[in-house]
Structure 1
Amino acid sequence: MPLGLYSRGDDAPLPLVGHYPELVYIYNDSAMENICRLKVGGEQIPPKYDTGMFRTWDTDGAYILGSDTGIEPFNMSMPVLYDGNAPPYLAPADVYRTSRSMRTFEKGLVNLNYNMTWFFPVDSGFFYLVRLHFCEIYHGITRVNEVVFTVFLNNQTAEEQFDPIAWSGRPGVAIQRDYVVMVPKVNEAKQDLWLDLHPYKDSKPMMYYNSFSNGVEIFKLSNFDDRNLAGPNPSQSFVSGSDVKPHHVAQFKKSSEKLKFIIIGCGLGTVVLPILLCLVLFRLKVIRPRKVMSWCGLAVHTPNQIEKAKKSSFCSHFPIREIKVATNDFDEALLIGTGGFGSVYKGSFDGGATSVAIKRANPMSHQGVSEFETEILWLSQLRHANLVSLLGYCNEDGEMILVYDFMDNGTLYEHLHLRQRDQPPLSWIQRLEICIGVARGLHYLHTGTKHRIIHRDIKTTNILLDHNWVPKISDFGLSKAGYPSILITNVKGSIGYLDPECFQSHKLTEKSDLYSLGVVLLEILSTRPAVIVGEDDEHVNLAEWAMLCFENGNLEQIVDPNLKGNIVEECFELYLGFAMKCLAERGVERPSIGEVLQNLVLAMHLQKKGGVVPDGNVQRNDNSGLQGYSDLTPGVEFSEIMMPVGR
């Protein structure tokens, strides 16, 4: 093994992902354990075809998330060029001749809604060296800023604008990028280390929104405190899930000879192994940060409570005394809302410098411990721009309290239905941006997470708006994980948004969220609540009323009067058509969240470009999921509610 193949020494420390400006030093005497060595795309490379070190380069199929795994371009005749960044022994040339990239679309805009994601099971409580291999194998990509993407490791930004051509200079040149990730200690012995690649949205020219990878290597680094590579014992659930059968265990217990053998072996191991480990590990030197180690072996300054919660991949525990200080002992003057779970207060930390939303459970509420635990379970694992961030919780003194980032602009419901007279209504562009953000959040839950989450309570009161009007989906107390469907005993949800098919069959699928989203889309368009109490029966339920207007051609009644004359006709057709598709009676007839997201983005394009359809983005047929409203109900006059093309 060449010196410096994985070690960097004093001259080239590595950044600690998510903890800038912390640096990590890896020396030749550091102990390392290979977790995986993957050739991304293509076939496995056996040891005899390595660069002389007899390494096996496995395929990545067992690690990539989801069925939509992109495409696998290859160029097996391409000469691979090595430079100082990537010496020839770094990896075989065939690693760089294949890759996995996102699915390509005309203009590439759809790729902005997706990540390419890999999961790697690793031991908790260690630092990991992650080496990524890149090589642009497409000769048509020759300029800087044509393909730029962001690298995320464990939901933290490792590199925001990685441009392979900027690093290599031209196609066919091998590149390596090294990062160090800290996987904190948790109750579980194993957890997943995530790798996400996402197209950078400000790429110029705006042609190739894409990301790709050619290879991945991950190494566990010896623990700083204990100076060893020994992982924690497997959890009980892991043991029970092994291949050992109960009758094998019984036979094993009946064998006195085997018992004697194990007892003797354990005795020798207890005495001999610690001595051997001490001898082997005595001189090992591992990560050498510049500051004193503190949390999970990480060298950082002691942050305040909020900074610590935001930096952690898992939510923090807040002492009740800090919660009371932040809310002035739950002062009613700081009350900003109430719900099924309880009351929400505006709190402040750091002398008022940081605002948070503090949700305090009502002890008389039906939404109790189960919803409290579910909220913590999901939001402590999820990180997305369109999901509310859970900073922590408190469960002292009989309290169940959740702490979130504060959303300056409140709920979407307030801006649609409780607007003050001096407050301008949301513009159509603002509403489209909110719809796209909500769809992106739902798309992440349905396709971008390991366990595929069904939210179950999508509604305008659970859509929060930050200071930049970015929507955040909140309230995961009813969420469930599992695909393709879940049989439930108790149907839960909100009246007006609840999927009728789920109510009748007790079968929960991701299409239940699509029904709720369809109601939200209508609510945003019409500014009518999902349920209107006191009107005639046919007007009580927004979905049923809108469907009646839709079938009768009374479209002007569905549109908020504040929007009349401001919506491009083609945009309206696409938007309303898909809202109605989401409300289909049978879940199988509803579109996927990916289709809805794609067409909301297209609707925004149509609105901004005055109805001009980008080439290759719309296919007018029933199977595409892009059937417009005018195809369903031809001959309807739009002049009263549409903005003329070109205005």
Structure 2
Amino acid sequence: MENLPIRKTPPPLFSVLVFLLHFSSLHFPSLAYDTPDKYFINCGSNANANFNNHVFTADRLFHSKATSSINGGNQSNLNHTARIFEQESYYKFDITESGTYYVRLHFFAFASSSSNLSAAIFDVSAFPNNSNSGFMLLKNFTAKNSSGNSTIHEFFLGIDHGSFRIYFTPRGLSFAFVNAIEVFLAPANFSPKNYPSSSPLVLHTIYRVNVGGKELGPDKDGLWRNWDPDDLYLLKSNPVGEVGPLQTLKYSNYEHDGFVAAANYYIAPDLVYETAKVMNNDSRNPSTSFNITWSFNVRRNAKHLVRAHFCDLVGQAADIVFNLYSNGNFIKNVNNSVFVNPIPYYYDFVVESKESELINISIGPNVEKTTTNNSFLNGLEMLEIMEELAPIPNMKEHKSINVPVVVGSVLGGLSLICILVVGFLFGLKYRKAKHVETSEWSPMPAVGGGSTHSRVTEGTITGSHMTDLNLGLKISFAQLQQATNNFDTKFLIGEGGFGNVYRGTLSDGRIVAVKRGKRHEHSSGQGLPEFETEIMVLSRIRHRHLVSLIGYCDEGSEMILVYEFMEKGTLREHLYESNLPRLSWKQRLEICIGAARGLHYLHKGAAGGIIHRDVKSTNILLDAKCVAKVADFGLSRSGPLDETHVSTNVKGTFGYLDPEYIMTQQLTEKSDVYSFGVVLLEVLCARPALARNLPNDQINLAEWGMNCKKNGLLEQIVDSSLKGQIDPSSLRKFIETAEKCLQDDANDRPTMDDVLWDLDYALQLQQTAKHREPHEDSTISASSEFVLPNVQHFPSHSSTANPDDMTFSGVDESGTATNEVFSQLKIGDAR
């Protein structure tokens, strides 16, 4: 990734503080790890259960119409109750801190008169970070277990702040079930090293082995893990010995050549590091060299992360140098002198099973670098890298079991200092945001803590208080309950940062979208500014390409917005992350033109001018005829846009945010232009603005797209479903338009009027489909004069006369738009 160009003075401390709230959620290694207390769920029970000296909370408060519960006679026993899923359902968790998470699923097919749990066949998948992109955890799973013990499947997932779902999907006519669920944050330094950057962090524990020691149960492990004795896997073709502890372990926190010192006993228990297998325990025959090998059955053609644990218990640290092998292949030279006795340490590496169903791990002396023929190993962990994507759920039919979160908002002095230091260093080295997507981030309050929102908006719409809202648009809560069948989840059509969206039918027969604010935000005042802003903006403007507000409800603690219903949902759903038919190139151009018209009207046609501030593909909606309409004005700002820049808290969505706005907090209409440029690339490439599962140079769509443009590799970024559809001249014009929008300096970006002109031209080039020479239409600037017969580039101010645009006067004007720019262009005359 290229560094973010900085043309202005270095950001002041206030600028750095902008990042603090957002990055305060990161789990810094320097902070102590506290034993987690969430989430531990006793599924299908009316009572809490104690397991491994930990309380699992009953899920009786999280009922779902899609589920039922059964018990085997003891409600407080973790393995004697289960939640049954007759159709695809999910548990939902609110993740407040980004990091690596343990996810454990407990299954025990106990005897029941109502259900034969051992007959259940189902899939389990995970959808982190409010995304429709999920991963298969268990496929065609059945919980049959002849041993009479419960089956526990453990996973590690990298999860960002946001919503996290675990889906249970019955196979065929079967059903699914689960007895208990654990979701909790792992220690910060647990995240694996030497992990492939192109793979999302989704790991399934296959083996965990205490080498040289006995079996360890959850009561012997700080994170309640099981460790098997290694004799189950040891190939005993050569004699080996065991050693025990020599002195108290010394945990540390440093790395060397890929090896990592264990920071604490959460990495592995003391009992793992205090025992080991050695090649030559008593040195009776030091001239003999051989390898010690452990063999593991694995799934064919799967990648595995292997963590090898070491701690010198032999007492020859200065002399021992040995090799680590996998399937006979050299992996790493282990020079024990770096981690002097008794410091425990580990090494991570990735092994692929390919066609074999075995992975062998070996250690053996390095005869070239040492005269001491010895080697040792203390522990092994083998985790499969889960790469299979999960099918996209049918959100309209899901019934969720919502698990609430209790957030402690106490920020200690030490934590605050750590956050300030990290935030300041980050501000000095800030690169283009590419790892986190959020709907809003604000600077730290100048004094004290408390809520980040007040009951008064930050001036997004001047004078926007609840008492000033258009009372003629008020709809009673009772009417909305009736319209949505009391907000029945079967009418749920979407979820966002503000709240859930339901399809509803008003008493006059109109079909509407009802967006109900989240209940937990009402008492704190969060969401109120966005609620007021949305009403103030949409109650005074009307445009064919802006979503219309039908009404609102603010009774009691309710914050509900009612919009015209957009039959075809979001633009993003038609580009990727769904099974919907893909849009043609002509449709995509028309949608982009429509959205550009809406934004141009906001900037120049609306009274005083409005900056949207959150332009993205999920905020561009499509009606039944695929007409694009810009939506979600909760972050909008109003005021004169052609005088001075507006200083404002940075808000928006990472991946779409204008880098100049991030660094300076100076908001202009060109910030919307940058975001729209990212949308244009989304339309062309059919991929997210941020894709963390891709190689580093492809994570940020704007950077990747512009690098491809610079290197003449456009064919690499075009959506494969469009191949053969796009006229080359139309493609060149579209790419040039996106490139101009994505300039780092706002002064170099076009206005939305210029963008609209260029997109109209790209559409006309596509429609004429006349052969052109490669040099034609490839260097036309948005502001250039170019020859077209009887065609005139109308100035920006003339666009206010567009029949699509009008300020609200009590009449909803929604007539068909007329393309005045190209109304006189004849196909035969096009150049």
After TM superposition, the score normalised by the length of structure 2 is: 0.36
Q: Which has the larger radius of gyration?
A: 2
Greater percentage in helix:
1
Query: Per residue, is there more strand in 1 or in 2?
Result: 2
